Amino acid sequence: MRSKQGSDTISQLDRTLPVRSCISCRKRANPAALIRVVLVDGRVIPDLKGGAAGRGAWLHKKCAEVAIARNAFRFAFKQDVAVDVSELLKFLEAQSN
C-alpha cells in the first residue's frame, strides 16, 4: 500500500495518464503540465509534439530557470559536459510574450 506522504502523490493525479517528474522541482505531474525537452547534438530542444527520438527530460515552465542555473540538464541527459540551452531559452522567451 502506498504512503500518503507529500502533496503530489499519485492518488491526486489522473490515473489514466502517465506521470512524469520535473527535473528541477521533482514534483510529479501529468505530461500536459510539463515541457518535454530532448538532447540533439549537445543542444536542449523543446519537444512540443512529444515524439522526438532519444532520451527526454520533463520540466515545468516556471522551473526552467532553476534547472538551467543548477545544470540539471547535464544530469538528466547523463552528459559529462554542460549542454547548450539557448534553444530552450528562445522558446521560453517566445512563450512569455
9 within a domain of the structure (yes/no):
no
pLDDT computed for residue 35 by the predictor: 93
Its domain, for residue 82, covers 18-96
Which set of grid coordinates corresponds to residue 11? 492518488
Distance of CA 13 to the CA centre of its chain: 17
Closest by CA position to 64, among listed 17, 96, 97, 19: 96
The owner of cell 530557470 is 65
User: Whole-prediction pTM value?
Assistant: 0.78
- What's the domain count of the chain? 1
pLDDT computed for residue 68 by the predictor: 92
Q: What is the CATH number of the domain that holds 58?
A: 3.30.1230.10
Chain segment 25-35, per-residue pLDDT in tens: 999 999 889 99
1 within a domain of the structure (yes/no):
no
How many CB atoms lie under 10 A from the CB of residue 21? 15
The owner of cell 516556471 is 62
Q: What angle do CA 86, 91, 92 make, to 5 degrees?
A: 95
